[in-house]
Every structure is written in structure tokens, then in C-alpha cells.
């Protein structure tokens, strides 16, 4: 995946990451068999399940 694609995918979840942060998330996502946005959403579901369940996370 190109750097541009990585940035666009990170922007989809409304998060701006430094290259080393994205790399760390990418390694963890790969380890779990997920994409970076899916990993972030999964983490948000654990952290604030009531907000995610109500659909209050809006795309940017």
C-alpha cells in the first residue's frame, strides 16, 4: 500500500497519524488480521461501547 493510500485510510476514521504511529498500528493490525481503520474502530468499541452503539461516531 502506498503512503498516499495509508494516509487516506487513516483520514477515513478521522485520525491523523505520524508515520511511526501508523507503522505501529499497521503492524498490530496485521498481527490481528485487520486493517488500520478496523483496528481503530474495534478499539473505540471497547473504550466507548455506548457511543459506538448509538452511532454517534460520524464520518468526516
CB atoms within 10 A of CB 25: 21
**For residue 36, is pLDDT > 60?**
yes
Report the pLDDT value the prediction gives residue 58, as an integer from 0 to 100: 56
pLDDT higher for 54 or 1? 54
Question: What are 4-25's pLDDT values in tens digits?
Answer: 665 655 555 566 778 888 899 8
Amino acid at each position: 500500500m502506498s503512503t498516499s493510500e495509508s494516509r487516506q485510510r487513516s483520514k477515513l476514521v478521522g485520525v491523523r497519524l505520524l508515520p511511526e504511529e501508523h507503522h505501529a498500528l499497521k503492524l498490530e493490525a496485521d498481527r490481528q488480521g485487520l486493517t488500520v481503520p478496523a483496528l481503530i474502530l474495534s478499539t473505540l468499541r471497547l473504550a466507548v461501547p455506548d457511543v459506538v452503539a448509538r452511532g454517534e461516531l460520524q464520518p468526516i
